[in-house]
Amino acid sequence: MRKIELERGTRRPLVFQGELLWEWSSSPDQASSYYSGSLGRWVELAAYLTEGGKYLLHTARHSLLPGEEDAYEVLLFPGPQDLALHLEAHYPKAARDFRETLEAEGELILSESELRLLEGEVALLEAEMDF
């Protein structure tokens, strides 16, 4: 673990002990496969494991457009699955990359549809056990 300092725009930087797990960025360039969908705007995401065992997502939304300022957000999650579900809901391309990165390190991360399927199978097993 090391000291990490995250930018938060006009607010004081967030400083904590942790470890960078993953980084991802969309692109303001239409020719990129990671095109943000908005010319002149892109997002940078970084996931960290804190010293306390929580997962932190730092989001930086950048803009090259006149009058628009960059925006920053920090979210805390109890586990990698929660972070993955947030990414799936808001940044599907990034969610896929996050799951692949963590799975390569031996961490199993399920998508929302996989979780629903698993929950359904568990419910069926529980119903069978009641007989």
DSSP 30-50: TTSTTB-SSTTEEEEEEEEEE
- Mean pLDDT within 68-96: 91
Q: Give yes or no for residue 113 having a pLDDT over 60.
A: yes
Domain that holds residue 63: 2-129
The answer to pTM > 0.85 is: no
Q: Which residues partner with 45 through β-bridges?
A: 24, 59
Q: How many domains does the chain have?
A: 1
The Cα–Cα gap between 50 and 96 comes to 22
Least confident of 67-81, 89-103, 107-121: 107-121
